[in-house]
Structure 1
Amino acid sequence: MCGIVGYIGTKEKKSVILGGLKELEYRGYDSAGLAVMTDNCGCGSDIAYFKAVGKLENLEKKTANFTSKGFGVAIGHTRWATHGKPTEINAHPHFGEYSFVTHNGIIENYKELKEYLEKQGVKFISQTDTEVVVHMFEYLNRSEKDPFIAFEKTIAKLVGSFAILIITKAAPDKIFFAKNAVPLIVGKSDEDEIIFSSSDAPLIGLAKEAIYLEDGMYGVAQMGEVKIYQQKKLITCTPQLLPADKSYAQKEGYRFFMEKEIYEQSQVASETLMGRIKYNKINLEEINSQIFDDIDEIVLCACGTSYHAALAASYLFERIAKIRAKVETASEFRYRDPVLNKNSLFVVISQSGETADTLEALKIAKNAGLKTLAICNVDNSSIVRLAGNVLLTRAGIEKGVASTKAFATQVLTLWMVVLYIAQIRKTIDEETLHSEIKALLHIPQVLNIPDGLHEKIHRMSKHYLHGHGFFFIGRDIFYPLALEGALKLKEISYLHAEGYASGEMKHGPIALVDEGLFTVALLPQNVLYEKTKSNVEEIAARDGYVLTLSPLEFELSDDFIKTSKQNHAMSEFFEMMVALQLLALEISIRLGNDVDMPRNLAKSVTVE
């Protein structure tokens, strides 16, 4: 997830672009760059560009002595790497002979396009997918001699997700743009300036209204004019008023970043899957498939929410890939003097990539000669650099301390690893593999929050502000989900909550059940429904207050959240996950807590 900004006008271009990127820095933080095209000397258009690795302040230092007077066009980018490590060469904007491009998204067919262009004599310098866009544009413009037609034909060749801005000496007063599956907004100021951005915030103060482009829209902008096309037809779009407050814009109208991130899960799930499923197969090009050779065990090591993702995945590794899976708490593993199996694949999971306990556990595994794989959200983090083999979850920056979208993308990524191993080891037949992939591709749709659900949970939440605690219960993969539901609630509400395997209730915890104890029961239709139902009946018989999540009506419930009927257990998993996140959110808001910054917690736990 990256952020892009574009500007056409007479203000200091550098300042506009850097100001916009500052508002978008939450979308990308490993490198940044900008390109400015002006005609300062009256001798033809000239493009100046700057790139820097790391935080945006590094780009600000690089451009400290640069100025651009008068009319010009400019584009900027803050990067969160998906192809190629964070280096200046891989940073945007990418350039050809006379054009520059910024891009948010993933070009799935970039390898095919790159191979074609290389056969035509085009030279590439970066490891990114984005570079093919500018080279394809210039290649097509050789024959078309019309930059707009060349751009239109370039966009038609792209498969994947993209928000694209191109500036070129072939049209020095214009910006070419296109949008598919990732956000792009365009506004016009009272002075006829044109401003592009990935979100509202950079436009506020420069424009009063903007057009939120839809998928498949593309076009060309110049001072005072934006032409938008869809399916090769010029269309008219109605601008919408921009919010007046930048902080509101960053949260996009949500009360808290955590709330926004819950609603982003459908989009980031799509980005997690993007390019990793091809021709009904799992395709993990980022890692060396040889790490799966001669292994007889998966060891998953993590802390907190990431531990719950690991625990959920352990069921899938054994059930689908038919390989033994162990789950380790990193803070315990590092001090246990563990006996390690040389034929293990050691998988570490971390949102930040800086989790101290997990990093130390990874060092132990590396020193013991084990093959290692990291599942992480932050490229160039300590864990990513050490692990060697890495799958990025692509959740984007998660500002809420209590993890939501990072957990969802971790589980999705691990599920893909399971299926990848099953393909290699041939422990899954074609029909089952196709069924699993179909279920995977359905998850972004499952993560769309249905009308009325949030309001129902908001009304329901007022019943759960008192009492002496919560039990979250489930079986199979819904046991780790119960653990995660309890963790979310305790993190941000400060109420006592525990997750249990449903079958363990009668082995001790049921002694606590009375009318002041709330039980949140996960009753999926596809996994051990009758078994779990009988456990919930035992709680109801002891006057426990029961909130049930299920697609099937349960008459003993005091509260009931009806989920949709799904064909796959993982679809039920993700649907219930969203409901549990919203429940924790709404209870916490009613208690008056700072949901994004709960007491005593930090986003990246870099100490023991």
Structure 2
Amino acid sequence: MCGIVGYIGKNEIKEILLNGLKELEYRGYDSAGIAVLQDRELSTFKAVGKIINLENKLKDFSTQGFGIGIGHTRWATHGKPTEANAHPHIAEFSNVVHNGIIENYQEIKEMLQAKGHHFLSQTDTEVIVHLFEENLKNCDDSFKAFKKTIDTIKGAYAILLISKKDSTKIFYAKNGSPLIIARGEGGIYFASSDAPLIGLAQEVVYLEDGDIGFMQEGDFDKLQNIQPLNINKSFAQKDGYRYFMEKEIYEQHSVLLETMMGRVSEDRIALENLDRDFFEGIESITICACGTSYHSAMVGKYLLERFAKIRVNVVIASEFRYADFVIKENELFITISQSGETADTLEALKLVKKHHLKTLAICNVDNSSIVRESDRVILTRVGIEKGVASTKAFASQVLVLWMLGVFIAQEKKLINAQEIKEQAQAMLKATKATKVDSKLHERIKRLSKRYLHGHGFFFIGRDVFFPLALEGALKLKEISYLHAEGYASGEMKHGPIALADSHLFTIALMPEHLLFEKIKSNIEELSARDATICVISSQECEVADDMIFIPKASSYMEEFFSMMVALQILALEIAIKLGNDVDMPRNLAKSVTVE
């Protein structure tokens, strides 16, 4: 999604802004730009495509001494990805960058045009800077003009604005989109996530919705809730892997151990901030999420109902918000989001809070908006995930939901000490099952060249392997741009099998410990229609055209995590063979902070 950086200080502004934008590349973008204000001169540079294109435009530009600057990576919402639509947007003497959506931009734009303002872009953002300058005509105070501007606009936003009228200040405002102010030895920094701040800043302030103000040299100590920035830079490096996605697949076994640490022991599951009282009176659970997180929620439904014996409803956040949903008093509302800033999920959370439901967030980013809005949180602890196509975040979400199901069962005394021990051991084995076997990877790499053409893929599975099939199909779609669909295996004969022919690829998930024979019969139905069958299993399947063997396991969840890794690697290798940018697939963004 769109990313923001800003800087106040005496260091080379161009380099700080460019380096910050590069740290935000993992979020996905289609254009980038910076604006620098120094000695009352405002310089703006924008480019479509990768940041290298912006760097080329800036090769003859440099700064010396004090100045301020703002930068942005844009993912198109209003207006196509063109240089005119790229941020920063400029009026006569001011410049702005913005994440989010201004809902009433059209009426503001028409009002400003009637007053003689000329617009260069198709974006909603451009109205902010023109409205600011219009307000300045009737006000000598730049901050009052900025505040009046923010009071007029409606929607979600993180905004940085600079102006020649007040050339030492960066004005900021936040509502529904993340924004951070930080201090380091080199000056004051702004960013829409922690990533650009690592190595530069020591102290940060995570702004809250409704925060508005300005920063200049010496102002940082006036802020509230200053805290240290403690994030390891190594998460932002590829460590020798071809892509961040590949690195993140390989590090799953270690980060999942981190997810379990202090929480899973042989005699009990302990989840910080959660106790029996929190679940007192809860009769049902609704899990709300989008994309990959929605698939983990579907897995969670099986596990929570199986262990905790509680009815679970799984909803897509964007659908939930606009449906005539029925909320029950004794309902727990769980949101799942990697970034904690997913707009649809965040707004759904705010909606149910008005109905006074208990809320629990499963999230990877502490201090994110969803975390702050929720009553309780379980952090997934997997560190920065730079690949747009999620891998370790999905794995950790499933593991947390598994832990949560056993935890509730434990607190409700639905399982005994021996069963808790068995589940703890199964979790540890499942985590170890995500360690990539180099021979398996090489086998999939060789096999992938056979799956580059055809008219599409079916991914099929039953029980928890149905949402895993959905996730496997999504991974392939996201990075290979090949058509793929996930199905519950038993649904084949209810319509999808009409597509089966020799040009259809089927990836079948066949766990030894869960409904093996049932899935086998579904595969035979497809094989009889000449579909090409690739089976992922620890057991030989005679009707398969190709086999991807996973290690023998002692539980279906151990098989689940083994198959998950195989699906991730299969998608990775197919996409690489097709020549695609695996980490930044077209049209996609890491953190979807608009509807």
Cα distance change of structure 1 residues 423 and 300 upon mapping to structure 2, 3 Å threshold = same
Rounded to whole Å, the distance in 1 between the matches of 2:364 and 2:203 is 13
Query: Would you say 1:439 and 2:426 are equivalent positions?
Result: yes
Cα distance change of structure 1 residues 199 and 382 upon mapping to structure 2, 3 Å threshold = closer
Residue 410 of structure 2 is matched in structure 1 by 423
Residue correspondence of structure 1 range 221-232 to structure 2 within 5 A? none
Identity of aligned residues (%): 59
Rounded to whole Å, the distance in 2 between the matches of 1:452 and 1:415 is 29
Rounded to whole Å, the distance in 1 between the matches of 2:356 and 2:318 is 20
| C-alpha deviation, 1:565, in angstroms | 1.1
Deviations 1:371-403 (A, max 9, x none): 110001111111111112111111111111100
Residue among 377, 385, 390 paired with 1:398: 385
Deviations 1:71-130 (A, max 9, x none): xxxx9997999xxxx9977526xxxxxxxxxx88xxxxxxxxxxxxxxxxxxxxxxxxxx
Rounded to whole Å, the distance in 1 between the matches of 2:283 and 2:272 is 22
| C-alpha deviation, 1:264, in angstroms | 1.1
| C-alpha deviation, 1:444, in angstroms | 2.7
SS in 2 for 1:282: coil
SS in 1 for 2:582: coil
Deviations 1:244-284 (A, max 9, x none): xxxxxx21111111111111111110111111124521111
Query: Would you say 1:481 and 2:468 are equivalent positions?
Result: yes
Rounded to whole Å, the distance in 1 between the matches of 2:244 and 2:23 is 15
Rounded to whole Å, the distance in 2 between the matches of 1:585 and 1:269 is 21
Q: Aligned letter for 1:411?
A: V
Query: Would you say 1:283 and 2:420 are equivalent positions?
Result: no
Alignment size in residue pairs: 407
Contact 2:445 2:570 in 1 (8 A): yes
Rounded to whole Å, the distance in 2 between the matches of 1:336 and 1:89 is 39
Rounded to whole Å, the distance in 2 between the matches of 1:279 and 1:524 is 25
| C-alpha deviation, 1:556, in angstroms | 1.0
Residue 273 of structure 1 is matched in structure 2 by 260
Residue 572 of structure 1 is matched in structure 2 by 559
Residue correspondence of structure 1 range 303-322 to structure 2 within 5 A? 303-322=290-309
Rounded to whole Å, the distance in 1 between the matches of 2:20 and 2:430 is 32
Residue 354 of structure 1 is matched in structure 2 by 341
SS in 1 for 2:463: coil
Q: Aligned letter for 1:357?
A: D
| C-alpha deviation, 1:536, in angstroms | 0.4
Cα distance change of structure 1 residues 465 and 300 upon mapping to structure 2, 3 Å threshold = same
Residue 58 of structure 1 is matched in structure 2 by 183
Deviations 1:185-213 (A, max 9, x none): xxxxxxxxxxxx96499xxxxxxxxxxxx
Rounded to whole Å, the distance in 1 between the matches of 2:235 and 2:391 is 23
Rounded to whole Å, the distance in 1 between the matches of 2:358 and 2:439 is 47
TM normalised by structure 2 equals 0.64
Residue correspondence of structure 1 range 127-166 to structure 2 within 5 A? none
Residue among 339, 345, 365 paired with 2:326: 339
Residue among 378, 384, 387 paired with 2:365: 378
Rounded to whole Å, the distance in 1 between the matches of 2:544 and 2:202 is 49
Deviations 1:564-600 (A, max 9, x none): 1111111100000000000000000111111111111
Rounded to whole Å, the distance in 2 between the matches of 1:483 and 1:512 is 18
Contact 1:401 1:603 in 2 (8 A): yes
SS in 1 for 2:438: coil
Residue 520 of structure 2 is matched in structure 1 by 533
SS in 1 for 2:397: helix
Contact 1:519 1:544 in 2 (8 A): yes
Q: Aligned letter for 1:489?
A: L
Deviations 1:155-198 (A, max 9, x none): xxxxxxxxxxxxxxxxxxxxxxxxxxxxxxxxxxxxxxxxxx96
Q: Aligned letter for 2:466?
A: Y
Rounded to whole Å, the distance in 1 between the matches of 2:317 and 2:552 is 36
Residue 458 of structure 1 is matched in structure 2 by 445
Cα distance change of structure 1 residues 564 and 477 upon mapping to structure 2, 3 Å threshold = same
Residue among 584, 587, 600 paired with 2:574: 587
Residue 91 of structure 1 is matched in structure 2 by 228
| C-alpha deviation, 1:63, in angstroms | 8.4
Rounded to whole Å, the distance in 2 between the matches of 1:87 and 1:260 is 37
Query: Would you say 1:302 and 2:289 are equivalent positions?
Result: yes
Q: Aligned letter for 2:449?
A: K
Contact 1:258 1:399 in 2 (8 A): yes
| C-alpha deviation, 1:291, in angstroms | 2.2
| C-alpha deviation, 1:454, in angstroms | 0.9
Residue 368 of structure 1 is matched in structure 2 by 355
Deviations 1:490-519 (A, max 9, x none): 011110000000000000000100000000
Query: Would you say 1:499 and 2:479 are equivalent positions?
Result: no
Q: Aligned letter for 2:264?
A: I
SS in 2 for 1:319: helix
Q: Aligned letter for 1:491?
A: E
Cα distance change of structure 1 residues 394 and 80 upon mapping to structure 2, 3 Å threshold = farther
Cα distance change of structure 1 residues 495 and 87 upon mapping to structure 2, 3 Å threshold = farther
Contact 2:363 2:371 in 1 (8 A): yes
Structure having greater relative contact order (Cα 8 Å, sep ≥ 6): 2
* Higher mean C-alpha displacement, 284-293 vs 575-584: 284-293
Rounded to whole Å, the distance in 1 between the matches of 2:374 and 2:578 is 41
Rounded to whole Å, the distance in 2 between the matches of 1:288 and 1:450 is 38
Rounded to whole Å, the distance in 1 between the matches of 2:506 and 2:421 is 37
| C-alpha deviation, 1:288, in angstroms | 5.1
Cα distance change of structure 1 residues 79 and 280 upon mapping to structure 2, 3 Å threshold = farther
Q: Aligned letter for 1:485?
A: G
SS in 1 for 2:353: helix
| C-alpha deviation, 1:286, in angstroms | 2.9
SS in 2 for 1:300: strand
Structure 1 unaligned spans of 5+ = 1-17, 27-52, 65-74, 93-102, 105-196, 202-249
| C-alpha deviation, 1:329, in angstroms | 0.8
Contact 1:25 1:56 in 2 (8 A): no
Query: Would you say 1:522 and 2:487 are equivalent positions?
Result: no
Contact 2:336 2:362 in 1 (8 A): yes
Residue 178 of structure 1 is matched in structure 2 by none
TM normalised by structure 1 equals 0.62
Cα distance change of structure 1 residues 259 and 80 upon mapping to structure 2, 3 Å threshold = farther
Contact 1:288 1:389 in 2 (8 A): no
Structure 2 unaligned spans of 5+ = 1-15, 25-177, 190-198, 206-222
| C-alpha deviation, 1:431, in angstroms | 1.5
Rounded to whole Å, the distance in 2 between the matches of 1:537 and 1:419 is 36
Residue 413 of structure 1 is matched in structure 2 by 400
Q: Aligned letter for 2:531?
A: G
Q: Aligned letter for 1:403?
A: S
Cα distance change of structure 1 residues 533 and 200 upon mapping to structure 2, 3 Å threshold = closer
SS in 1 for 2:571: helix
SS in 1 for 2:228: coil
| C-alpha deviation, 1:432, in angstroms | 1.3
Query: Would you say 1:262 and 2:387 are equivalent positions?
Result: no
Q: Aligned letter for 2:184?
A: L
Contact 1:25 1:78 in 2 (8 A): no
Residue 68 of structure 1 is matched in structure 2 by none
